[in-house]
């Protein structure tokens, strides 16, 4: 399989580039300056010459707080740019897998969100990603839109790396304890994407394999408990650790409002694609161990 991935520096794009060959997949990543989703008119020209069997749109504007003051760029990338990538996929007669987010929901439900639950984003980031879902679906019917949440990996800007860095600087870290969700490792996302891609290519006329799906790590927790587990794993390998002081969302105000409940029901993905991601704790353990190992190697 040949897989074309938008984005080069993002967590999922980097994980796909690393993990894809292990699955016998030829992964080509493309990003700025060759491909700039903020300039949708350039997308077709950038993607047209690259031969591929499927496109994965992993590129996005992900600065949740920054989107509140820069909605023009957020919508250009997450809506118009995503739609342009999907249009290129249709032009090339290949399916597209598009990554989306739990932020399309307002987080006020007491239950994990299903794909057919009403969407109601709280901020610009969520609204732009939801608009992108519609743009992708309109431009290329042969699509799978995968909503995920709380993504982390050994690289890029994410919660695991931030917590380990803070633990090296202080003895105590204040972390929000009234937001719930499912931490999701980028490599688990990659394994899920590859499985979905194979299904789309194997059964090109099966409507059950197309549409919107939720894909997160199994299990759920709070940011505070997430941090405690990170520090536990790190401490057990003589890595940095800190005490976690639980605080409320109100005690940690941000420009963009976060959903209180980011838990997603992933049963549709399991039923239609036979994909179930591992427990989030497994991915956290692997991620922390790799970061500690790489830090040790840098000091040798």
Q: Catalytic amino acids?
A: 125
State the CB neighbour count (10 A cutoff) for residue 192: 23
Find, among 184, 174, 171, the residue nearest to 287 by Cα.
Answer: 184
Geometric angle at alpha carbon 138, from 128 and 117, rounded to 5°: 60
* Separation CA 47–CA 217 (nearest Å): 31
Which residue shows structure tokens 């940095």?
240
Which residue shows structure tokens 């009234």?
178
* Separation CA 83–CA 65 (nearest Å): 23
Cβ atoms of 138 and 79 within 8 Å: the answer is no
Which residue shows structure tokens 């209180």?
260
Cβ atoms of 125 and 256 within 8 Å: the answer is yes
* Separation CA 253–CA 133 (nearest Å): 28
Geometric angle at alpha carbon 203, from 202 and 208, rounded to 5°: 135
Q: Which stretch of DSSP H or E encloses residue 223?
A: helix 223-236
Q: Give the DSSP letter of residue 65.
A: T
* Separation CA 46–CA 42 (nearest Å): 6
């Amino acid at each position: 399989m040949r897989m074309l991935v938008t984005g080069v520096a993002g967590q999922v794009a980097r994980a796909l580039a690393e993990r894809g060959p292990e699955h016998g997949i030829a992964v080509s990543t493309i990003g700025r300056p060759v491909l700039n989703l903020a300039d949708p008119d350039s997308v077709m020209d950038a993607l047209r010459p690259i031969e591929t069997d499927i496109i994965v749109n992993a590129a996005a504007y992900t600065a949740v707080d920054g989107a509140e003051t820069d909605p023009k760029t957020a919508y250009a990338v997450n809506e118009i740019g995503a739609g342009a990538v999907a249009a290129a996929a249709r032009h090339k007669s290949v399916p597209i897998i598009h990554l989306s987010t739990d932020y399309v929901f307002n987080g006020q439900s007491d239950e994990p969100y299903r794909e057919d639950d009403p969407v109601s984003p709280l901020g610009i980031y969520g609204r732009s990603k939801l608009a992108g879902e519609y743009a992708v679906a309109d431009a290329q019917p042969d699509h799978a839109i995968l909503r995920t949440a709380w993504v982390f990996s050994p690289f890029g800007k994410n919660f695991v790396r931030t917590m380990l860095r803070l633990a090296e600087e202080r003895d105590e870290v204040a972390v929000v304890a009234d937001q719930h969700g499912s931490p999701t490792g980028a490599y688990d996302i990659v394994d899920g994407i590859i499985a979905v891609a194979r299904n789309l290519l194997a059964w090109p006329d099966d409507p059950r394999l197309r549409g919107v799906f939720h894909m997160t790590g199994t299990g759920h927790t709070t940011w505070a408990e997430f941090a405690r587990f990170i520090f536990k794993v790190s401490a057990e390998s003589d890595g940095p650790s800190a005490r976690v002081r639980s605080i409320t969302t109100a005690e940690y105000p941000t420009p963009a409002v976060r959903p209180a409940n980011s838990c997603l029901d992933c049963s549709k993905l399991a039923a239609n694609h036979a994909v179930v991601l591992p427990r989030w704790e497994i991915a956290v353990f692997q991620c922390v161990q790799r970061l500690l190992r790489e830090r040790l190697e840098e000091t040798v």
